[in-house]
Amino acid sequence: MAKLQLKLYLFLFAIILLVVITLASFFSGMFYQKSRVASTTEKVTAQTIVNKISDQAFLVTKTVYLNQKTDIKVDQGSDWNNFWWGQTINAEALIRADVGVDYAQIKAENIKIDHLNKTVKIIVPDAKILDINPTGDIQVTSKSGILKLLLANDPSADRNQAAKELTNQAAVAIEKDPQIFQEAQKSSNEVLKLLVSEFGYDVIIESGTN
């Protein structure tokens, strides 16, 4: 009889112990889940997203090449070599332009986080021309047929003046083609979404202004 009671007590003890362990595991899991959510909420801030963009995002650009020509009237007393003074010359060069979004302009105030719905809204600057310069030599021809190459490694006043005129004209031509900026903006948005989605949030991109 005593052995039977002992077995019964042990059986009841085992059941109670199992219930206690089960309840402990349940509440522990709930606590862990709440802690994890709280930790995530605490971790994902506008500044952490800005830091990630600054640290890991490479500049996404669309490169455009234009064979640019322009006529330049060289006035006397200008920075041009006096050999060209009073002449109208034609300058020609291959111009490279990089169009993209400047990520450095994305600040914490441009980022809105909805922890409840797990979304991040980022207002990004519009794509623009980030860099534009002649690539290689610049060919200059006078109306009288005089030809001169302004070398890429020659920082003379003549080359600087010609480069300025050519890049200004090329920039005007690029600005007239909205597709270039649309493609650069799209590529940039895809990179930002990929980066921020690592936090486990859906990303909403809105275009802002430069």
Q: What is the pLDDT of residues 1-33, one digit of tens each?
A: 555 454 554 555 556 655 555 655 544 444 444
* Separation of CA 171 from chain center: 21
Structure tokens at 151: 């070398």
Residue 14: its pLDDT value, please?
55
Q: What is the dihedral of CA 158, 160, 166, 167, to 10 degrees?
A: 180
Enter the pTM of the model.
0.73
Write down how long the chain is: 210
Q: What is the pLDDT of residues 167-194, one digit of tens each?
A: 999 999 999 999 999 999 999 899 888 8
Asked if residue 90 lies in contact with residue 171, where contact means CB atoms within 8 angstroms, the answer is: no
Q: What is the pLDDT of residues 44-75, one digit of tens each?
A: 899 999 988 887 666 768 999 999 999 999 99
R_g (Cα) of the chain, nearest Å = 33
Residue labelled with tokens 């890991």:
56
Asked if residue 198 lies in contact with residue 189, where contact means CB atoms within 8 angstroms, the answer is: no
Q: Point out which residues pair with 139 in neighbouring strands.
A: 92, 149
Every domain of the chain and the residues it spans: 1-43, 45-207
Q: Closest Cα to residue 78, out of 5, 13, 160?
A: 160
